[in-house]
Amino acid sequence: MSTAARHDLADTHSIAAAGHSRKELERQFERLLEENGPALSRLAASYTRTTGDRDDLLQEIATALWLGLPQFRRECSERTFLFRIAHNRAISHLSRNRGAATVSDEAIQVSDSRPDPEAGLAQRQQQSHLLVAVQQLPVIYRETITLMLEGMSYSEIAEILGIAESNVGARLNRARQMLRELLEVKK
């Protein structure tokens, strides 16, 4: 039996032991990525400087999600579970690539459904400035503000980051203050 076949057999055994069929896990995995793809992309962009790095981080997040799904015990929401994985992968990505970070002019293209091209350009520029400012925040503030911008509640953020809800509020206040200062410099 080849090494790949043994790994596949071990994966199938661990999935079966967790009480999930492979098809069920595949459907859950695809649904989670489909429902949360844009949010995960924004989260990854806040931790990276280039589109290529963002895509690499998204791949790491997807792989970690696939490997983690069989162990999901439903002690929290699926979204909290997913973002906890994404947060952990992003922190690992940052620590591995700390010295390799370079500033790039690449910005994530956000489609604008409004017909006015000037207003669309202004909105994209504002989003780009915000993304650059968020990327400049220290990691503890960046992770907190990114999760808040994704609509997470204080309790969800606290659970994802493993901190008290009161710390979430303190970090968000400090992050907002730092963002205001960074964005005022851009004007």
Same domain, 90 and 122: no
Residue 69 pLDDT: 92
Is 108 contained in some domain?
no
Same domain, 93 and 12: yes
End of a domain among 97, 130, 148? Answer: 97
- Domain count across the chain: 2
End of a domain among 68, 97, 126? Answer: 97
Check which CATH number belongs to the domain holding 161 and give it: 1.10.10.10
- Rounded to 5 degrees, φ, ψ at 108 are -75, 130
Summarised one tens digit per residue, pLDDT across range 108-148 is 444 445 456 666 677 777 778 888 888 899 999 999 999 99
132, two tokens: 């650059």
Nearest to 14 by CA among 66, 72, 85, 70: 70
Residues of the chain with pLDDT under 70: 1-20, 99-120, 186-187
Enclosing domain of residue 46: 8-97
Is 104 contained in some domain?
no
Cα separation, 128 vs 108, in Å, equals: 7
Q: Which residues are CB-contacts of 8 (< 8 A; sequence separation ≥ 6)?
A: none
Check which CATH number belongs to the domain holding 90 and give it: 1.10.1740.10
- DSSP assignment of 40-93 equals HHHHHHHH-SSHHHHHHHHHHHHHHHHHHGGG--SSS-HHHHHHHHHHHHHHHH
Is 109 contained in some domain?
no
